[in-house]
Chains A and B, each alone.
Chain A
Amino acid sequence: MHNKKYCLITGASEGFGKALALECAARNMNLVLVALPGPELHYLADFIKRNYHVDAIAIEQDLTSEENCIAVYEFVKEMKLEVNMLINNAGLGGTMLFSEGNYSFYRKQIKLNIVATTLFTHLFLEMLKENGPSCILNVGSLGSYFYLAKKQVYGATKSFIYFFSKSLRRELKNDGISISVICPGSMNTNISVTTLLKTSGWLSRLSVMNPEQVAPIAINGLLNGKEVIIPGRLNKIFLFLNKLLPDFIKNRILSRQMKKIQSVTAIEAKQATIVMTENQNALTA
């Protein structure tokens, strides 16, 4: 067990976090997987241990509380797990008009997307320095480049992550820690998002990627020390056009695409069969 380095992934039981866990396992990395309490996390850890011959440790914690974030760190220290990769993936998405959502949801979004990311990075900074060369991957969103209706709070939290990552990168340059931010577009991460994406405009539908397609791009970018990782050709084109097109055209395209996307709450009412869980995953853009 000595000199074994670990990659810690938050929000690892579903969606993009799970895809990142499987990708890292396939690259022979030991894993610390953190996610909301539930059996899925343990099933994933067991599966990884059996099929990839790496170590996988499951920690059940709800990271919307700061005490729980600290508890994860304490546990990792106590177990003497040498973390040299930190992936702050846990996040809470949402597509709704500002007036449709309640404040407690927005608060939860801010706590998970902003507070937990900041706290985890702060807690693990020393450990990452000691175990260097190390790297941090923060999961932002393509949405942080665009001002989108129904994504106000979400987009703002992801903008925080983008700004935070790029700024911190300049500080940590000489400490052997490389910090990257990935800005994925829409992904089929869980049932509610998959259903949601079926209702969106053709342009956004065309750009949807599966988490298992994005995960290798993310890890390659991270290991190559890329500052910003944009997965997908179409997403790159969006960003390029964003710089090129005048505002009035951009606004028309975006509002037409977004109008077709129903609020998650509206979908829930319609699709009683689909259980929407406030999972810890990055439901991006």
Chain B
Amino acid sequence: MKIFITGATGYVGHQLALTLANNNLVHILVRNLNSPHLPRHKNIRTFAGDINDCSSIENAMQGCEQVYHTAALVKIFDKEPAAFYKINVDGTKNLLNVSLKQGVKKFVFTSTCGVLGTSVLHPKSENDPRISSFDNDYEFTKYLAENLVKDYVHKGLFTVIVALSKVYGPGIETHPISVNKVIHNFIQGKLTIIPKPGKLETNYCFIDDVVQGHILAMAKGIGGEKYILGGENISYTALFGCIRSLTNTKARLIEVPKILVQFWALLQWMRFKITHKEPFVTGKGIRQIFCNKTFCSDKAVRQLGYRLTPLREGLQQTIQFLKPQNHAQ
């Protein structure tokens, strides 16, 4: 079968393309043919183009029965907020249009649990409401894109949404502050900061589960539905405790109160105004960091047969993967 994938130079799309290429012919659309992150496999055909250029999509998607749309502008802040709308909303719309026109059978859209926002007492499920407003353009544009993807079901395109939590595990490095990077720093013995109180919980999903989750959503997902592809919910303290027990790292862990991060965000903002270097944290985005963000993958387990790798096992594999890189440096 011919399958079309966007975002193949991204962390998830890269692994997904390689996995699918074992049994299928995979078409990938990339902006830069010389990207160091290109997945290389004899069954992968690379097309130069952009999700904001419809003719390049049409060309690359020709003859494909399935579409995985994993491409997105993923960061907390961009100098040009319009970029989030252009890539995440308009780009998705272009892909949906071309898919509909070319008679694509199924379309899987990769979204984020960030659209569901923070949790209160219990982990959040697909239908739970947000309890606070969107505070960054990334999550807001992913929300707009999700609505678009749902709308196209009524236009006759079979679409399924998967929402990922924080992904970790062996794969390429594409994000400035990924979970992998934080783990890497910690096992290297570097000082690691976590939000105070450290008992705040977040959800971490293992890359292999997420890749399989995409394939399962394509095979068994119900049209117009959304599935959380998450992992275990665990507190910052327990997470780093687990990593410590697996590696015996001597790295120090420091709980940082909100006010300090607020101050840091202010400094970053001032630096941005002077040097135009984009901040890692923004004043608005801080609220989220100091909340529980737990999610429940039961729907995907029930309806798709999604499998969650136990966190300890996933961490073990991740640490194994990160260690050789350690020595190479």
Contact = CB atoms under 8 A, between A and B. Distances in A.
A111 B228 CA distance: 40
Given A212-B132, A273-B148, A51 B120 contact: yes
Contacts of A18: 129
Interface in B129-181: 129, 131-134, 140, 144, 147-148, 151
B295 to A, nearest CB: 14
Given A43-B127, A274-B144, A275-B147, A211 B133 contact: yes
Contacts of A246: none
Contacts of A273: 89-90, 93, 144, 148
Residue of B121, B129, B148 contacting most chain A CB atoms (<10 Å): B129
Contacts of B133: 188, 194, 210-212
A98 interface: no
A34 interface: no
A278 interface: no
Contacts of B93: 273
Interface in A1-54: 18, 22, 39-40, 43-44, 46-47, 50-52
B329 to A, nearest CB: 44
B6 to A, nearest CB: 18
A263 B129 CA distance: 29
A46 to B, nearest CB: 8
Mostly, the A contact residues are: helix
Interface in A209-258: 210-212
A169 B120 CA distance: 36
A51 B122 contact: yes
Contacts of A210: 132-133
A275 B143 CA distance: 12
Contacts of A191: 144
A39 B127 contact: yes
Nearest to B92: A273
A274 B133 CA distance: 17
A44 B122 contact: no
Contacts of B90: 273
A137 B169 CA distance: 51
Nearest to B85: A273
A145 B140 CA distance: 32
A101 to B, nearest CB: 25
A212 B291 CA distance: 15
B128 interface: yes
Interface string A129-168: 0000000000000000000000000000000000000000
Contacts of B144: 191, 273-274
Contact of A40 (B89, B120, B129, B140): B129
Residue of A211, A273, A275 contacting most chain B CB atoms (<10 Å): A273
A43 B128 contact: yes
B129 A50 contact: no
Contacts of B127: 39, 43, 46
Residue of A40, A47, A194 contacting most chain B CB atoms (<10 Å): A47
Contacts of A212: 131-133
Contacts of A22: 131
A28 to B, nearest CB: 13
A273 B140 CA distance: 13
A46 B89 CA distance: 30
Contacts of A194: 133-134, 140
Given A47-B128, A210-B132, A273-B90, 20 more contacts: A18-B129, A22-B131, A39-B127, A46-B127, A47-B129, A50-B122, A51-B121, A51-B122, A52-B120, A52-B121, A188-B134, A194-B133, A194-B140, A211-B133, A212-B131, A212-B133, A273-B89, A273-B148, A274-B144, A275-B151
19 contacts: A39-B127, A44-B129, A47-B128, A50-B121, A51-B120, A51-B122, A52-B120, A188-B133, A188-B134, A191-B144, A194-B133, A194-B134, A194-B140, A210-B132, A210-B133, A212-B132, A212-B133, A273-B93, A273-B148
Interface of A: 18, 22, 39-40, 43-44, 46-47, 50-52, 188, 191, 194, 210-212, 273-275
Interface of B: 89-90, 93, 120-122, 127-129, 131-134, 140, 144, 147-148, 151
